Amino acid sequence: MAQIQKMRSQNVTGDVYVDSTCIDCDTCRWMAPEIFHRDGSQSAVFAQPTQEKERLHALQALLSCPTASIGTVEKPTEIRQVQQSLPILVAENVYHCGYHSEKSFGATSYFIQRDDGNVLVDSPQFTPPLVKQLEAMGGIKYMYLTHQDDVADHAQFQSHFGCTRILHQDDISTETQDVELTLEGTDPYTLAPDLLIIPVPGHSQGHTVLLHKNFLFTGDHLAWSAGANRLVGFRRYCWYSWDEQIQSMKKLLNYNFEWILPGHGRRYHASLKDMHPQIQDCIMEMEATG
């Protein structure tokens, strides 16, 4: 819970604030860019919400902050309605779960609603309001984990929903050694006709991405950088092999998609004809910094 005694001086005066426990994960800044921005190495409120939609976005960010670093001076009376607004629809049948976990440094988790069984992509916080909403949306059949960094509360979700957890063997640790489905090798794995898992070693040895229709869930492999205004592979956060990550990025040119939904970084949406050139530019930049 945010503490008013730790309120950052960089916040503008008003009800919503960020305190000094912020870890600079960027969650609030892309969830409510009209309210939050970066000041120094942490987030701060630069404009108080004045409209109902802005207030909703600010409180959704409050609930999603992995360190509970966002607070309100007055207790919000509409918090139950805000809880019911999560997960947030991204497009078609894909939702942003919210409730980011500090265990994953605030990584984003997504929910895919399908007639043949829903998919939870990476792990948000296991929190009662979210669990209740996911139950109402049909539960979870598969819990797909992109890589070892963003598993968070996976065990609690599996215990509650009885879902099949999926992770590549090269990213298995003592924390995830009991996952139900372990992937091997570097060949794509068809989980269902509309669910293709593509191994992309680089950020970690066992990193994979998930292709569902026009949506590519990329974990820490690929994201849009607001600062650089382009797709990036995050050289600074490559823990296994930058050379392999470059080669893995080239694999994506074999597939068609319009959405990039990352664990860290910003979402990106482009037409099919514009997506490949953006990825090619990303590869060229990666090779130049290799």
Residue 290 has a pLDDT of: 73
Residue boundaries of the structural domains of the chain: 4-82, 86-288
Residue 289 has a pLDDT of: 86
* 8 A C-beta contact, residue 122 and residue 103: no
What CATH code would you report for 86-288?
Answer: 3.60.15.10
DSSP β-bridge partners for residue 268:
260
Report how far residue 113's alpha carbon sits from residue 120's, in angstroms, rounded to the nearest whole number: 9
Per-residue pLDDT of the chain (290 residues; tens, 9 = 90+): 899 999 999 999 999 999 999 999 999 999 999 999 999 999 999 999 999 999 999 999 999 999 999 999 999 999 999 999 999 999 999 999 999 999 999 999 999 999 999 999 999 999 999 999 999 999 999 999 999 999 999 999 999 999 999 999 999 999 999 999 999 999 999 999 999 999 999 999 999 999 999 999 999 999 999 888 999 999 999 999 999 999 999 999 999 999 999 999 999 999 999 999 999 999 999 999 87
What CATH code would you report for 4-82?
Answer: 3.30.70.20
* 8 A C-beta contact, residue 48 and residue 102: no
- Which sign, positive or negative, has the C-alpha torsion 173, 176, 182, 187? negative
Q: Which two tokens stand for residue 224?
A: 């849009």
Residue 228 has a pLDDT of: 86
Residue 272 has a pLDDT of: 93
Instruction: Of 182, 206, 185, 210, give the one whose Cα is nearest residue 196.
Output: 210
Residue 12 has a pLDDT of: 98
Residue 154 has a pLDDT of: 98
Residue 43 has a pLDDT of: 98
How far does Cα 20 stand from its chain's mean position?
23
4-82 and 86-288, same CATH topology: no
Query: Could you tell me the pTM of the whole model?
Result: 0.96
Instruction: Of 123, 126, 122, 157, give the one whose Cα is nearest residue 140.
Output: 157
Report how far residue 120's alpha carbon sits from residue 111's, in angstroms, rounded to the nearest whole number: 5
Residue 5 has a pLDDT of: 96
